[in-house]
Amino acid sequence: MNDQNDAVPTSTSDGGQGGNGKPPGEKKGWFQHIRDDMHANSLVGAVGITFTALFLIVLTVVLLYSITKGWPECDVPEESENRNAATASAGANQNAPPVANANLSATPGANANAANANSNANANAGAARIDADSIEPTSGPVPGKTLVTIKGKNFGSTAEGMVVKFGEIEANVTNVGSESISARTPRHSEGVVDVAVERDGDRDVLTSAYTYTCPAPTGVSLFLMLNMAGALGGCIHALRSLYWYAGQRELKWSWLPMYFALPFIGSAMATIFSLLIVAGFVDSATGRS
């Protein structure tokens, strides 16, 4: 009789739905799968691997984009160079002397006009010529707008009619004195250029006097770049490790926190490196390299 009682099935508290409280055959969501499979020594399933990989990939893309956008711009658009060259050519054409004097003999009073032209030419020939000696500073960034001072003699007293060119591109002259010219450099591609000073047909050139350089990040920008680079290194290391252990089917749940922490550990290490630079323990000389 006791055997009969033992054979009677007992009812379960979940109403026959199984131990997990869900009807048989019901699909589980991502987090339900993760919760059911999450044990320290159990292997990570496809859902956990996918979620971790997506986190690392998205963070890597964001860091790469931020570093690319934050790096100082060094390339001059081709249309900008063409526009500057066209402006310089137009200015040269405007400053060219008129050729109407070629027909003076065909008009009344031509002899008088010719005499005046000759006297003006003789006066200009006797005047002191422009003499540019040096420029300070001798280099600046590609975007331009650097305030430079050209030292020399016989520059005049006003900015009217004074033209300063870096290569073939005209600069913005801000102040002119007898022995100095102040100007803002124009935008120009990287490299060494001549600096020309012109006024009323008189011209002097400082050969290879100014160097356009690609600026490197400095200050807060450098600090942020180093931090993002450290985080990026952590992401790459985490992705490589995830790929290796997931492919070998040895990835355990207890390891996953490390993959989420690696980018932040890399950023922290970069912060320490930044502080070493600020403290002077590491050379922080600026330059493209």
Are 170 and 184 a contacting pair, CB within 8 Å? no
Q: What is the pLDDT of residue 90?
A: 47
The CATH superfamily assigned to 78-213 is Immunoglobulins (2.60.40.10)
pLDDT in tens, 105-118: 444 444 545 445 44
Band of pLDDT at residue 52, cut at 50, 70 and 90 = very high
pLDDT at site 43 = 83
Q: Is the pTM of this model over 0.85?
A: no
Is 80 exceeded by the pLDDT of residue 31?
A: no
Identify the band that residue 68 occupies on the pLDDT scale cut at 50, 70 and 90: confident
Residue 196: strand, helix, or coil: strand
The structure tokens listed for 207 are 């050969």
Closest to 132 measured CA to CA, from 207, 212, 185: 207
Phi first, then psi, for residue 23 (nearest 5°) are -60, 145
CA distance 111 to 284: 70
166-186 per-position pLDDT tens digit: 999 999 999 988 889 999 999
DSSP structure class, residue 42: S
More confident residue, 42 or 13: 42
Is 51 a residue whose pLDDT tops 70? yes
- Structural domain boundaries of the chain? 30-70+218-279, 78-213
